[in-house]
């Protein structure tokens, strides 16, 4: 049998040049399953060429010359048209076979692997989106405040005055917020104000003693509104949670959420709390907030 089904046996005469500057030797060329065999007149094999390495080096109307590449000196000259056609066909098939062939089974495996990877990487996002849908904007404050009280993360909160609550309500109405704003002043020593999930702003009382504290407070309110836009702070809070915690909560079981205050400090960068583009408040509201812890 040969590599081409229509031929059980395919042989022809040819001229074989073993090395350059040597005379061509008359040989018998036999077409096999994976190579051509070059033999002398007594059928003694002289060489065999693998189909994958054969290439056409020269061709005219009467003969075709085959070789094994530019770095090989051997040449095989054939006049028989049927043999030329067979070898040429195999050469062309060899070129095609050397190109990457994406089999259907490989495609399915690759697609399955890709989907698995996408699923693994999308699980955190899916869990966060489900949790975000369960905890509606109006419940963020209750949810986060319960964590603060449970862990005693923020203590010594000063009594809130009426004017402070009035300011909170004004902000919610003016900006159509889905979460309420909760401004809390604490006597505890904090590095800087905290912008927490759920619309919570916790400000250390000593922070009001700095220069231009009113303008900086008004800027803090503006920064807070931007942070709460599209629930960005709460989404960041969910990103800090373990996937197991989110999964447990979604299933309806008690879950231990973590709230790391260090992640919510307003950086001590003058550019962040500059006195431009502020949210103006009344004098009475400002005095009320600044003196919250004096009562």
Q: What percent of the chain has pLDDT over 70?
A: 91
For residue range 39-84, what is the model confidence (pLDDT) as tens digits? 988 888 888 888 888 888 888 888 999 888 767 788 899 999 999 8
Which CATH topology does 11-98 take? Answer: PH-domain like (2.30.29)
Separation in Å, CA 237 to CA 47, 152, 210:
74, 18, 30
> How many other CB atoms are there within 10 angstroms of residue 107's CB atom?
10
Length of the chain: 295
Q: What does the pLDDT read at residue 35? A: 86
Beta strands in the chain (DSSP E): 11-17, 25-31, 35-39, 45-50, 55-59, 64-67, 75-78, 182-186, 194-196, 200-204
Is the full-model pTM beyond 0.85? Answer: no
pLDDT surpassing 60 at residue 217: yes
Instruction: Give 96's pLDDT tier (boundaries 50, 70, 90).
Output: very low
pLDDT surpassing 50 at residue 264: yes
Distance CA 102, CA 92 (A): 19
pLDDT surpassing 90 at residue 275: no
For residue range 120-131, what is the model confidence (pLDDT) as tens digits? 888 889 999 999
Instruction: Give 145's pLDDT tier (boundaries 50, 70, 90).
Output: confident
Distance CA 225, CA 171 (A): 9
Domain locations in the chain as residue ranges? 11-98, 121-294
pLDDT surpassing 70 at residue 86: yes
Residue with tokens 């836009």: 229
For residue range 3-39, what is the model confidence (pLDDT) as tens digits? 788 888 889 999 998 877 778 899 999 998 888 899 9
Q: What does the pLDDT read at residue 295? A: 65
Kindly report the average pLDDT of the chain as a whole number: 84
Separation in Å, CA 289 to CA 31, 201, 232, 255:
98, 12, 26, 35
């Amino acid at each position: 049998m040969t590599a081409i089904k229509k031929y059980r046996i395919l042989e022809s005469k040819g001229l074989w040049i073993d090395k350059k500057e040597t005379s061509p030797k008359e040989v018998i060329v036999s077409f096999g399953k994976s190579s051509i065999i070059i033999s002398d007149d007594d059928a003694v094999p002289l060489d065999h060429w693998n189909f994958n390495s054969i290439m056409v080096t020269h061709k005219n109307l009467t003969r075709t010359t085959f070789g094994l590449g530019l770095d090989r000196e051997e040449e095989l000259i054939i006049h028989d048209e049927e043999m030329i056609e067979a070898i040429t066909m195999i050469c062309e098939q060899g070129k095609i076979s050397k190109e990457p062939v994406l089999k259907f089974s490989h495609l399915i495996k690759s697609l399955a692997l890709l989907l698995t990877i996408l699923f693994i990487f999308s699980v955190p996002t899916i869990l966060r989106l489900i949790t975000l849908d369960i905890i509606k904007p109006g419940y963020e404050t209750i949810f986060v405040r319960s964590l603060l009280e449970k862990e005693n993360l923020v203590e010594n909160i000063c009594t809130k005055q009426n004017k402070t609550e009035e300011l909170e309500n004004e902000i919610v109405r003016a900006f159509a917020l889905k979460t309420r704003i909760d401004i809390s002043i604490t006597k505890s020593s904090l590095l800087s104000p905290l912008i927490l999930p759920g619309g919570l702003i916790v400000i250390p009382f000593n922070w009001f003693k700095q220069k231009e504290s009113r303008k900086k407070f008004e800027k803090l309110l503006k920064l807070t509104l931007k942070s709460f836009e599209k629930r960005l702070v709460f989404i960041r809070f969910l990103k800090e949670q373990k996937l197991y915690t989110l999964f447990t909560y979604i299933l309806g079981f008690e879950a231990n959420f973590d709230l790391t205050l260090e992640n919510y400090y307003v950086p001590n960068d003058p550019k962040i709390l500059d006195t431009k583009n502020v949210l103006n408040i009344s004098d009475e509201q400002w005095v009320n907030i600044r003196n919250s812890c004096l009562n």
